[in-house]
Structure 1
Amino acid sequence: MKFTKMHGIGNDYVYINCFEEKVEKPEELVKFISNRHFGVGSDGLVLILPSSKADFRMRMFNPDGSEAQMCGNAIRCVGKYVYDNNMTNKKTILIETLAGIKVLELITGSDGNVAMVKVDMGEPILKARNIPVDSDLELFVNQPVHVLGSEYRVTCVSMGNPHAVIYVDNVSEFPVDKVGPEIEKHPLFPERINTEFVEVINPKRLKMRVWERGTGETMACGTGACAVLVASSLTGVSEKKATVELLGGNLDIEWNESNNRVYMTGPATLVFTGELYI
């Protein structure tokens, strides 16, 4: 089975072209393929499939076997894959995901291959029950959540998948590996939740680390960066357009006031191709 390893600012996945390959049990394959000692090593598995609603469809699986609705870094790499491999010649494409159809604008470099991708991530979901958060509040903004004997102020946003945003003074020193799993599995979040820990550099620059449900801490999370920008605008600590610094690199995020949609722009990078014997 042929595969391709790609990353979006360090958020790395193994991609399989299901126009050519057949994957019968992706929830099992991902547990092997994502293992960094006995498999290829990745933050998960992405399948590129035909779609009756869009140009292509993507499915993505976390290392624990759970299927995720959407990943901003992965979808940029899907755009690069299909264009660079001559599966499309269009520079604006539609990708079907469990979080809806996303519009990608492909930006090519001097070699003719895709270097950057701008993704219309859609409208943020702010109603607590729809994120979902088990709360009677209309919006879950700057609300206290207690874990490990400490209180954290949490703002929740869904970008097709749920996110909890927490502001800290020094994100580099924050114990993400201890607090992240406690927030992820908190009873407030019936579907578990991705958690972003954010340090505000200035209103146009935010620095974050992310604990992804079903995965753990990763180098980057595109939907998380979008959620951070929305939460930061809601809480008044940032403008509606800012650069978000992640461990793997930077993403430019904009929450457009005129249409209420969030746009993410960032790179997509090919690492290597290979073949699995399974």
Structure 2
Amino acid sequence: MITCSEFSFIKYQGNGNDFILIDGSVYGQSLSRERIVQLCSRQYGVGADGLACVKGFKSSVLEMEFFNADGKRALMCGNALRCVAFHGFKSLEVLSSKITISLGGVSYDCFQEKEKIKVVLPLPKLKGEGVYTLGKREVPYIWVDTGVDHLVLHVEPHEVGMEEFKAFGKKVRHDKAFAPGGVNVNLAAFTSPNTIYMRTYEKGVEDETLACGSGAAAAVFAMQRAYKNSNKNYFVEFFSKEKLEFNLEKDSRNQVLAWFMLGEAQAVFHGTISL
């Protein structure tokens, strides 16, 4: 283990959600909140929505810590999981069909399907529901735990493009009704019985991001509750115009038994930075 101010990294993106990957066995002790913030800074660092510190590359069992751009630890990030899994499959010394990633006390099984990564997700948990004022009308929302807390507001397609979304997202994210942790805020339009268009304001980034995997899972959960249909495959389109797929395993009573997230991950560049 070394303590240093020089970091080797790989920049990844999943659906436009971008992350810094570093080797936790080398740099784990060198991380501080201030350094994470600087690494994620788009002006003074590499630039990213978050940072994944991973131990165990070259094996099929990985330990992952995830930090948002504000330097605070997060228990879940769906798009980062896919990026770490993709890099893990590339790094394996012994061929394996499955990689297991431990994050936030949960083990996620990941599989490679051609150029995509499939992640087995825990079933979402409903925390509450109600209505929230958006402009001049009240819209229904559900509050869902998909590893992190998400508020999904069911809106019309034209409302997803609202110009003041960043200000609205910041307001809802800090609303006392969702204290003390706050929520990620998602506008979701159900554009067909199995397709969703959404935007996300992420806490920890404190801004809109181009995509959010755990938010997409929450939006699919919201559609399931709203429509109660028998669909097993869902597609979520993000502000980045990219799509993420969800496959649901159901029983004969239409009860969901398992969730699978399927999407791409891409290495953007790698390098070394001195802080």
Residues 1-278 of structure 1: matches in 2 within 5 Å?
Answer: 1-50=7-56, 55-86=61-92, 89-98=95-104, 100-108=106-114, 115-126=115-126, 128=127, 140-141=128-129, 143-146=130-133, 151-169=138-156, 170=158, 171-173=160-162, 175-190=164-179, 191-215=181-205, 216-236=207-227, 239-248=231-240, 249-258=242-251, 260-278=257-275
Q: Deviations over 1:72-118 (max 9, x none)?
A: 1000010111121235531211110105111101124xxxxxx2100
**For the structure 1 residues 263 and 168, does the alpha-carbon distance in structure 2 shift closer, same or farther, using more than 3 Å as the test?**
same
Q: Partners of 2:95 and 2:270 in 1: how far apart?
A: 22
| Conserved 8 A contact 1:245-1:251 | yes
Q: Partners of 1:39 and 1:60 in 2: how far apart?
A: 17
Q: Partners of 1:100 and 1:229 in 2: how far apart?
A: 21
| Conserved 8 A contact 1:6-1:14 | yes
Q: Partners of 1:176 and 1:210 in 2: how far apart?
A: 9
Question: One-letter code of the match for 1:269?
Answer: Q
> Which 5+ residue runs of structure 2 have no aligned equivalent?
1-6
Q: Partners of 2:163 and 2:190 in 1: how far apart?
A: 14
Question: One-letter code of the match for 2:210?
Answer: M
Q: Partners of 2:183 and 2:94 in 1: how far apart?
A: 34
| Conserved 8 A contact 2:139-2:155 | no
Q: How many residues align?
A: 257
**For the structure 1 residues 177 and 219, does the alpha-carbon distance in structure 2 shift closer, same or farther, using more than 3 Å as the test?**
same
Q: Partners of 2:216 and 2:29 in 1: how far apart?
A: 30
Question: One-letter code of the match for 1:253?
Answer: F
**For the structure 1 residues 26 and 75, does the alpha-carbon distance in structure 2 shift closer, same or farther, using more than 3 Å as the test?**
farther
**For the structure 1 residues 23 and 194, does the alpha-carbon distance in structure 2 shift closer, same or farther, using more than 3 Å as the test?**
same
Q: Partners of 1:247 and 1:86 in 2: how far apart?
A: 33
More strand by share: 2
RMSD across aligned positions (CA): 2.1
> Which 5+ residue runs of structure 1 have no aligned equivalent?
109-114, 129-139
Instruction: Provide the TM-score with structure 1 as the length reference.
Output: 0.86
Q: Partners of 1:204 and 1:255 in 2: how far apart?
A: 12
| Conserved 8 A contact 1:91-1:107 | no
Q: Partners of 1:240 and 1:79 in 2: how far apart?
A: 24
